Amino acid sequence: MTNGQTTVVAAHAKINLTLAVLGKRPDGYHDLSSVMQTISLHDSLDITATTDGRLHFTCGIPGLSGSRNLAYRAADLLRADAGDPSLGATLALHKVVPTQGGLGGGSSDAAYVLAALNTLWGLHLPDERLEALGARLGSDVPFFIRGGTCLIAGRGEVVTPLPDARPFWLVLAKPPVAISTAAVFRTLSPADYASPEHSEAIVGAIRAGDVLPAEHLVNSLEAGVLRAYPAVAATRDALLAAGAPVVRMSGSGPSLYAPFADRAEASAVTERATSAGVTAWLCRTVSHAEVLAARPQAAVLRS
Ligand code: C5P
């Protein structure tokens, strides 16, 4: 137990390089094949382990503070799993990643809380156990236990680590609309179901260390969201007009990303898009090693 010391954790967002919805499952979820990548946009969490058996959680955004927040629920779940009533923590979440953005922000906060408290509470659970606990909180949480570049299957909980994708820059844009993941999945019909071919092609490029072929950066949910939400289509048009050759949607949207090999080019497009009124960030990909480094001592726990 590391008591009383505050650890600052950077909880990175993700983008989906591919997202194929394979079909609907009997439990109501959808089977996916997706390549996910952590990126530099991140929330910050101040985490202090205590021995008073209490959890204190604060967040500057009123709607997000409270015991329904996934970060709080992650701490509560880990504490219950450990079965030690003396375990407590103070958590302060500083939110930067847009909520309901398709960037996994809430899931990332939860995963980093699991990983950090596992260390600070001295539980020494293997990452496989943290992934299983994370899957109970949300489909994207297991991915964030590993981070970097991963192939995702099942409803999101089957995580196959990949070598880090060749690093690249991206312009990330948040259209002025929040989209519920459940609502997007609800509108799907069998005509929207896809094969994992694009994910397999991207995995091949990643394993070969190649630049990712744009024609395989395909998201099954993108066309439907662009049709249903004019604000997303308008942001996409603004990014194209600002000079982005390729624009793709992340997850169930509405966030969009434009990949670039060159930082200066990505920076210029970010500036032009911002001048045109788009909420945009210049980001880069974040490797598995950087994710481990963002949670002190966790590297020791994962062989
Ligand atoms: O798991 P999570 O709570 O993030 O999922 C939110 C909603 O998105 C689910 O309730 C479900 O409606 C939908 N979903 C799905 N298939 C997935 C992941 C999410 O249908 N693989």
* CB of 32 shorter than 6 A to ligand 1: yes
Question: Ligand 1 within 6 A of 155 CB?
Answer: yes
Q: According to the model, what pLDDT value does residue 139 have?
A: 94
Q: What is the pLDDT of residue 298?
A: 42
Say yes or no to pLDDT of 2 above 90. Answer: no
Average pLDDT over residues 133-145: 97
Q: How confident is the model over 78-105, as a mean pLDDT?
A: 96
Tell whether the model's pLDDT for residue 186 goes beyond 80.
Answer: yes
Ligand 1 centroid vs 29 CA: distance in angstroms? 6
Q: Is 105 in the pocket of ligand 1 (CB under 6 A)?
A: no
Residue 44 Cα distances to 24, 59, 108, 293, angstroms:
35, 10, 11, 14
pLDDT number for residue 4? 72
- The predicted pLDDT at position 65 comes to 84
Output the CA 84–ligand 1 centroid distance in Å: 31
Amino acid at 155: R
The rounded Å distance from CA 204 to ligand 1 centre is 27
CA neighbor of 31 nearest in space, from 135, 138, 150, 155? 155
Say how many Å lie between the CA of residue 67 and the centre of ligand 1: 21
Is residue 209 pLDDT above 60, yes or no? yes
Quick: pLDDT tens for 43-63. Answer: 999 999 999 999 999 998 988
Rounded Cα–Cα distance for residues 163 and 144 (Å): 15
pLDDT, average across residues 109-120: 96
Q: Is residue 140 annotated as a catalytic residue, yes or no?
A: yes
Query: What DSSP letter does each residue of 28-47 carry, written as one string?
Result: S-EEEEEEEEEEEEEEEEEE
Dihedral, 76, 81, 82, 84 alpha carbons, nearest 10: 60
Cα separation of 66 and 52, whole Å?
19
pLDDT at 3: 62
**Of the candidates 284, 51, 286, the residue with the CA atom closest to the CA atom of residue 169:** 284
> So what's the pLDDT on residue 63?
86
Query: What is the residue with the minimal CA distance to atom 14 of ligand 1?
Result: 29
Select from 30, 152, 252 the residue to mutate for testing ligand 1; criterion: most ligand atoms less than 8 Å from CB: 30
Q: Is 174 a catalytic residue?
A: no
- Determine which one of 127, 140, 164, 174 is catalytic: 140
156 CB within 6 A, ligand 1: yes
Share of the chain above pLDDT 70, in %: 96
Q: Is the confidence at residue 228, as pLDDT, over 70?
A: yes
Given this model, what pLDDT does residue 267 score?
A: 98
29 C-beta closer than 6 A to ligand 1: yes
Helix axes 127-135, 70-82, angle to 10 degrees: 120
The rounded Å distance from CA 274 to ligand 1 centre is: 32
The two tokens of residue 138 are 């949300």
Compute the average pLDDT of residues 247-266: 98
Q: Which tokens in the block code for residue 279?
A: 């909420």
User: Given this model, what pLDDT does residue 230 score?
Assistant: 97
Ligand 1 center from residue 89 Cα (angstroms): 29
CA distance 110 to 104: 10
Q: Is the shortest distance between the CB of 252 and ligand 1 below 6 Å?
A: no
165 lines ligand 1 (CB under 6 A): no
Mean pLDDT of 32-42: 98
Closest residue CA from atom 20 of ligand 1: 29
Average pLDDT, integer, range 213-241? 97
| CB of 185 closer than 6 angstroms to any ligand 1 atom | yes
What is the pLDDT, as a whole number, of residue 295? 76
Express each pLDDT in 123-137 by its tens digit: 999 999 999 999 999
